Structure 1
Amino acid sequence: MELVTIIMPANKAETFIERSVQSILNQSYKNWELIIIYDDNVDYFSILKNQGITDERIKFVSTNKLGISTARNIGIEIASGNIIAILDADDEFDSEKLKCCVPLTQKNYLVSCALEIRDVNGNNLKYVGNKEQGILQSSRYKNVNYSADNMILFDKTKIPCYYDEKLSCMEDLEFMLNCFEIIDHTYHFSIPLHKYYKRFNSVSNNSQSCNKFLIAKKILLQRLENNFYKFQEKKLENNMINFLQTSINSELLFQQALTDDPKILFENIIEPLL
Structure 2
Amino acid sequence: MNEKPLFSVIIPAFNAQKTIKRTILSVLNQTYRNYEVIVVNDGSSDLTPRILEEFLSWPQVTILHQTNAGVSAARNNALQLSCGEYVLFLDADDWVETNFLMVFKQNLAAWPAQTIDLMVGNLNDDRVGKVSHAGFFELEDIPFVLGELEMSDNIGYLHNKCYRRKMVEEMGLRFIEGISMSEDLLFNLKCFSCVSNFLVMPGSAYHYEDIEGSLSKRKSNYNELKVRKTSLTVLYDGIVEKYKESDLDYFLKGISKRVLALDMQIVTAMYHSSFSPGDIAQEINEIKRGRYSKGIFILLNKNEKMKYMIMNLNTITAYYFLYALYRMRAF
> TM-score range with shorter-chain normalisation?
0.7 to 0.9
Equivalent residue number for residue 148 of structure 2: 143
Task: Name 1:47's counterpart in structure 2.
Answer: 51
Q: CA deviation at 1:104?
A: 4.1
2:233 matched to 1:233? no
Deviations 1:99-134 (A, max 9, x none): 1113545731211110012xxxxxxx4563243321
* Within-5 A mapping of 1:1-274: 2-42=5-45, 44=48, 46-48=50-52, 55-64=58-67, 66-102=69-105, 104=107, 107-117=115-125, 125=126, 128-136=129-137, 137-139=141-143, 140-144=145-149, 145-147=152-154, 148-151=156-159, 152-160=161-169, 161-206=173-218, 208-209=219-220, 214-215=225-226, 217-224=228-235, 227-228=237-238, 232-234=242-244, 235=246, 242-250=253-261, 252=264, 269=301
Identity of matched residues, %: 21
How many residues get paired? 252
TM-score, reference length from structure 2: 0.64
Following superposition, the deviation at residue 197 of structure 1 comes to 0.3
- 1:249 and 1:7, CA in 2 relative to 1: closer, same or farther beyond 3 A? same
Offset, 1:36: 0.6
8 Å contact kept, 1:170–1:213 = no
Q: Give distance in 1, aligned partners of 2:240 and 2:300.
A: 31
Matched residue of 1:56: which SS? coil
Instruction: Give the TM-score normalised by the residue count of structure 1.
Output: 0.75
Kindly indicate whether the alpha-carbon contact (under 8 Å) linking 1:73 and 1:163 is maintained by their aligned counterparts in 2.
yes
- Structure whose residues are more often helix by fraction: 2
SS at the partner of 1:84? strand
Q: Kindly provide the amino acid, as one letter, of the partner of residue 197 in structure 1.
A: E
Distance in 1 (alpha carbons) for counterparts of 2:180 and 2:227: 7
The question of whether the paired residues in 1 share the 8 Å contact of 2:117 and 2:197 is answered with no
Deviations 1:185-206 (A, max 9, x none): 3211221222100124433235
Per-residue deviation, residues 51-80 of structure 1 (Å, max 9, x unmatched)? x89522111101125111111111111112
* Mapped contact 1:130–1:192 kept (Cα < 8 A): no
* Segment drifting more, 188-197 vs 1-10: 1-10
Query: 1:86-110: per-residue Cα shift (whole Å, max 9, x none)?
Result: 1111122222121111354573121
Distance (whole Å) between structure 1 residues aligned to residue 177 and residue 88 of structure 2: 19
Q: In the TM superposition, what is the alpha-carbon distance from 1:231 to its structure 2 partner?
A: 6.2
Amino acid at match of 2:257: T
Q: 1:166 Cα shift?
A: 4.5
| CA 1:218–1:126: 2 relative to 1, 3 Å | closer
Deviation at 1:184, TM superposition (A): 3.7
Mapped to 1, the partners of 2:256 and 2:224 lie a distance apart of: 13
The residue type equivalent to 1:63 in the other structure is Q
Q: Deviations over 1:207-265 (max 9, x none)?
A: x348587435412343147x456865335987655423302434548x99xxxxxxxxx
Decide whether the 8 Å contact of 2:9 with 2:35 is kept in 1: yes
RMSD, matched Cα: 3.6
- Which structure features the higher share of strand residues? 1
The answer to which of 84-93 and 166-175 deviates more is 166-175
Opposite residue 128 of structure 1, the aligned amino acid is G
Structure with more relative contact order (C-alpha pairs < 8 Å, separation 6 or more):
1
Distance 2:147 2:56 in 1: 37
Q: Which runs of 5+ in 1 are unaligned?
A: 118-124, 257-266
Contact 2:56 2:63 in 1 (8 A): no
